[in-house]
Amino acid sequence: MSGHKRFEIIANGNITTPAGFRAAGLHCGLKKTQRNDLGVIAADHPCAAAGVYTTNAFKAAPLIVTEESLSRTGKLQVMLVNSGNANACTGDQGMADAREMRKLAAEAFGVSEDLAGVTSTGVIGELLKMDRVRGGIARLSDATHATAASGDQFSQAILTTDLVKKEACVRVMIDGVAVHIAGTCKGSGMIHPNMATMLGFMTTDAKISSATLHALLKETTDQTFNMITVDGDTSTNDMVIVMASGVANHETELTPAHPSWVDFVSGFRYVGEQMAKAIARDGEGATKLIECTVEGAITQEAARGMVKTIIGSSLVKSAVFGADANWGRIIAAVGRAGFPVRTDAVDIRLGGIEVLRQSQPVEFDEDRAEAYLKGDTVHIIVNLHHGEGRATGWGCDLTYDYVRINAAYRT
């Protein structure tokens, strides 16, 4: 466990670390491999909950069903997820299957349907093999425990083309009581900053209302999950869900007026940012994480827009893959981002290497730049000298493997 000023990082924490939560993951037969493809997060009692969802017009059936549950109560107690099949663009049968999954999950854990949510990830346009899903749900309850192993099984169950599981966990002191925030997510392809950009699940044992939790999740999403891109595609199934058990039982409910609110927000954002960066680093075929900071923009909106344009540029991503210090691709992305820019005032650095000053080329050591770009993390810093706007976002390089993976996604 390592520390930050406002929170402590729990190195081996997972979604069962916050009190009041159990989890499970197993293989029910949706994937051709033996990897887990069905998972659940279950709480001991109804939890304050909130969600953010894809802005893709073709929203998958499970997301609609989960929104229905949350809109009725603002609470969740069971969150079911399958991988290997997105249950998206599957018509009336897909909706019926999503609702049946919710019903079966609620029955398996002894809760009302309004307290159950479902989500799916995988291939679009294929009906679920519901006989296998039914069999898997029937086994989930006995497999659900509040252990690190169970949390790990859930994190494995949500993966598709991901190479690694993605988790983060912190501890914050509220009214002298230890409060935990944890998260796990999946995402490797079809990642673009446009609402949730992935499947993400967060748990906390804090006492906090659904309304306050939703506002915090939306703000955090804008600063973290919405600041990543892998390939410019926004999925039909993107969603982030957070559940708060309240079991920590600190004296006062968390609101923006609470003396420790800033500490809680810092920990919550850290978990979101770590998951966002993990998705970018694990982009399909990726070999490098690209972190881009734009400062001195005329507004924060402009800074965010330019960051997204830079990290989303296929030319920038290809140059990073090839360790080519071609700053012209970066300045071109800045110029086409659609925000005001002083064309005589832009500075660009690659890590600590200055390559452009006041929009004029700077002589730099090409060998040193190439060596830097061959590292596993590349930081692009752009200063526009035009205002106070600042933003950071994350992406990855574009490799031959990205095409190979997606050319054979269904096979």
Residues 6+ apart with CB under 8 A from 342: 384, 385, 386
Model pLDDT, residue 292: 95
- State which amino acid sits at residue 77: Q
In the three-class reduction of DSSP (H, G, I as helix; E, B as strand; rest coil), residue 383 is classed as strand
Residues 6+ apart with CB under 8 A from 354: 347, 348, 362, 364
Model pLDDT, residue 57: 75
Mind listing the pLDDT tens digit for each residue in 295-330?
Answer: 999 999 999 999 999 998 989 999 999 999 999 999
Query: 2-281 adopts what CATH topology?
Result: L-amino peptidase D-ALA esterase/amidase (3.60.70)
Model pLDDT, residue 192: 45
Mind listing the pLDDT tens digit for each residue in 230-257?
Answer: 544 455 667 889 999 999 989 999 999 9
Going by pLDDT thresholds of 50, 70 and 90, the confidence category of residue 199 is confident
Residue 53 has pLDDT above 60, yes or no: yes
Model pLDDT, residue 379: 97
Model pLDDT, residue 161: 58
More confident residue, 73 or 115: 115
Region 350-366: mean pLDDT is: 96
Half-sphere exposure of 233 (CA within 13 A, CB side): 12
324, 334, 244, 239: which is closest to 295 by C-alpha? Answer: 334
Region 64-68: mean pLDDT is: 94
Going by pLDDT thresholds of 50, 70 and 90, the confidence category of residue 369 is very high
Going by pLDDT thresholds of 50, 70 and 90, the confidence category of residue 227 is confident
More confident residue, 196 or 37: 37
Structure tokens at 217: 């999740």
Region 75-91: mean pLDDT is: 93
DSSP 71-128: HHHSEEEEEEEEEEE---S-HHHHHHHHHHHHHHHHHHHT--GGGEEEEEEEETT---
Model pLDDT, residue 194: 43
Region 256-268: mean pLDDT is: 97
Mind listing the pLDDT tens digit for each residue in 140-152?
Answer: 999 999 999 999 9
Q: How confident is the prediction for the chain on average, in pLDDT?
A: 89
Residue 196 has pLDDT above 60, yes or no: no
Region 9-29: mean pLDDT is: 96
Cα distances (angstroms) measured from residue 104 to each of 78, 199, 236: 11, 21, 24
For 11-15, 99-103, 281-285, which range has the lowest pLDDT when averaged over its residues? 281-285
Region 117-123: mean pLDDT is: 90
Cα distances (angstroms) measured from residue 395 to each of 127, 246, 320, 408: 32, 35, 11, 23
More confident residue, 403 or 22: 22
Class of domain 289-407: alpha beta
* Residue 228 φ then ψ, to 5°: -125, 155
pTM over 0.85: no
Model pLDDT, residue 92: 96
pLDDT above 70 covers what percent of the chain? 90
In the chain, where the domains are located:
2-281, 289-407
Catalytic residue set: 197
Residue 191 has pLDDT above 50, yes or no: no
Model pLDDT, residue 334: 96
